[in-house]
Chain A
């Protein structure tokens, strides 16, 4: 089975721009979660989607949003980028059970 895929793998943006990241879960997995990973804060939960509905949300500002499509693929969007948004963004899918992670998207905000 193919694993979780994320695109793009690397992104460089400037402050004030917006960005959209994409995640394709493992086939048959209907739950997709997003995390932000930074050296100082570790892995922090952003939100979880199940059957196109947001089921859980972490403590991030409204600039961070997401959605899930009928084929379980998911996107997350960050608007009005800030320097502190530079991080590795990870997507994970589950069926339920353990979450399986993708390779992440490395975002650098200049």
Chain B
């Protein structure tokens, strides 16, 4: 069974304090690993797709990386507007998307 574990559950940063979120996974036949951002009361917003180990994607202050067992979402010099819950999901051979429980990020000014 495909599984995703995200850590930490919650992270509090000061504005400008860089950090990383972790997503560990087990999947049969990885088709893709996805990162989403979710604001309270809203649907998840797509950020990145990673397909194979070694791949990296960047968008503004966010950079996602992938190994065979985990993915990291690096946040460089975060701003208060980066506060949200970040969700990681994997899609394996079953083609179902399996989500982790997310990391709630708070960036204080």
Contacts and interface: CB of A to CB of B under 8 A. Distances in A.
A4 B98 CA distance: 20
A43 interface: yes
Chain A interface, >50% SS class: strand
Nearest to B89: A43
Contacts of A21: none
Interface residues of A, number: 22
Contacts of B87: 43
B78 interface: no
Interface in B57-104: 87, 89, 94-102
B45 interface: yes
Interface string A84-109: 00000010100001111111101000
Interface size classification for chain B: 20 to 34
Contacts of B100: 42
A45 B96 contact: yes
Given A42-B102, A98-B34, A90 B96 contact: no
Interface string A30-64: 00010100000011110010000001101000000
A-B residue pairs, 6 tightest by C-beta: A101-B43, A43-B99, A42-B101, A101-B44, A98-B46, A103-B43
